[in-house]
Amino acid sequence: MADTLHDGAALDFPVLCGYLGPAMAIELDLSHRAPAAPTGAGPANLLGLGREGLRAAMIAAGVEEKKARMRAGQLWRWMYHYGVGDFSGMTDVAKEMRAKLGEHFYLARPAINAAQASVDGTRKWLVGYGPNVEAECVYIPDVGKAGALCVSSQVGCTLTCTFCHTGTQTLVRNLSAAEIVGQVMIARDALGEWPTSNENRLLTNIVFMGMGEPLYNLDNVVEAIDTIADGDGISISKRRITVSTAGVAPKIPELGKRTGAMLAISLHATNDDLRNELVPINRKYNLKELFDAIRAYPDLSNSKRVTFEYVMLKGVNDTLAEARDLVKLLKHVPAKINLIPFNPWPGAKYECSDWETIEAFAEVLNRAGYASPIRTPRGRDILAACGQLRSESVKERASERLARRLAEKEGSAP
């Protein structure tokens, strides 16, 4: 069941951090993966840069400052409207300028280290940003107006939410704005969404609900949103971009002021004691501080409601009393609630609530006037939960190292 989002779209994101368990994967052909970025001194990659970054790059390459903005605008349209990956395809740029650009720059998507496709149309990519630096993005069809891409903002995470698979991974680093935008471009390549069109688009919504806490990487998230939403390029409206936070309260109003994006809160509990356990950042910013920040989010209304994510954990947070407490907690906040049936991942200590319990919980919310759809799990036949594909990659590298060491030992034995 899909949740009703702003202007009639639908929001249904079952592929969130740790919510779905692993299963068999269908591997995709990666023969056309983007080349890895060169190392050391040499040309710089322009793909993913924002307008100011492109203008500065043009000036650094020797373009006259008064012409740099115009040149950057040309590149912008070729890169983000047409999706070209080579300067030779930019037919309205003079050959001499194309050659000059090629001396200083190149255009390359991030590497795709692994890719999977589900029988239900869900697609997932493990994106490589350097040695042992990988993040994930997931395309989910029939979400939003047509389909949504769940993007990552960090490699790993610091928050250690106990039900979340990514929470088991330490933070490696923040992703740059260009690296975030690169995830969108990879998805549009796969979906054949170039040039940008408003007709029959498959990817209409972006959700920052993948690996990492977006508000701990706010500057790069803001810049990425500006690039993704620009009407001369990828052109996904900020009203169709949702940023989910576990509760970094001081940054929530700032997110709204700087982006105008939709807000989602990873809630999962109605009292501080339980939320301290499930979402440990609550120990720093408790529910009162969190809801004070939510109420300060700019332009909240019935057409711009906050999405509250609530994973259903058997015997933990799923009583009717807690449903009624949730109604009280959301008072005076334009809200919708996504109820998420939990699917255990390896090592998880929780079980999913019984279906009858979930339906009864939803009924309490519905009677109180809140849209509270129960998410239909998607991507069950692939490693759909954020962080799981990366975990498998890390395990594979570890097993390769172990095998190599054993072989070296055997080779050195007398």
Q: Which residues are catalytic?
A: 136, 386
Do residues 291 and 335 touch, judged by C-beta distance below 8 A?
no
Kindly give the pairing relationship between strand 154-155 and strand 306-312.
unpaired
State how far Cα 191 lies from the chain centre: 17
Question: What value, to the nearest 5°, has the Cα angle with vertex 343 and ends 172 and 166?
Answer: 5
- Inter-axis angle of helices 218-229 and 252-259, to 10 degrees? 30
Q: Quick one: tokens of 87?
A: 């300067």
H helix intervals, 18-94: 51-60, 65-76
Q: Rounded to whole angstroms, how far apart are CA atoms 22 and 18?
A: 10
Q: Quick one: tokens of 235?
A: 């052109």
Helix (H) or strand (E) holding 113: strand 111-117
DSSP-derived 3-state class of residue 162: coil
Q: Rounded to whole angstroms, how far apart are CA atoms 27 and 6?
A: 35
β-bridge mates for residue 263, sequence order:
243
